[in-house]
Amino acid sequence: MATIGVLGLGRSGAPVAKLGLAFEMDVVAWSQNLTEARCAELGVRYVDKETLFRSSDFISVQLVLSKRTRGLVGAAEFALMKPTAYLINTARGPIIDEAALIAALETGKIAGAGLDVYDEEPLPADHPLRRAPRTVLTPHVGYVTSSSYPNFYAQSVENICAFLDGKPIRILNPDNASKI
């Protein structure tokens, strides 16, 4: 039975864990604030970070980017992983130390990586990840579903209309709102 380790069991991590269970995988999870109760609620096992990296055949990063998660997965974590394990990151690029990931891929320390997010987006044409072996790279489209489009486009139109009316909404940096 394959094991999937899920870093973060929030809004995006919980469905990943459920998908692992649907495929009859052993699902383990860890994050800095995760509790055993939350894991039990979803039917997955809570483990410490080291155990997650040592035991998982697949590791799916599902964390929010913050000061605490930036660089959370680096050389030390790749050293713990099985040489047959895969890293999947659909959360935020800077959670992974890209240089350490590239080194792990180039030396065969891990089996491969699936990445939808990067430190710099769009990923530059000459970026070393584009040449890294055993990788699947997508351009930050993992969130795209047919059900997300109506919401996305409706909010886009609403945002434009509000801006044109001089009453912008969904402002990402409120400190800059007065400069608009």
Active site residues: 92, 121, 140
Residue 93 phi, psi dihedral angles, 5° rounding: -55, -50
Task: Kindly give the pairing relationship between strand 58-61 and strand 45-46.
Answer: unpaired
Residue 12 phi, psi dihedral angles, 5° rounding: -100, -25
DSSP, res 47: -
For the sheet with 112-115, list strands across it: 45-46, 26-30, 3-7, 58-61, 86-89, 112-115, 135-137
Q: How far apart are CA 105 and CA 128, in angstroms?
A: 11
Question: Do residues 13 and 39 touch, judged by C-beta distance below 8 A?
Answer: no
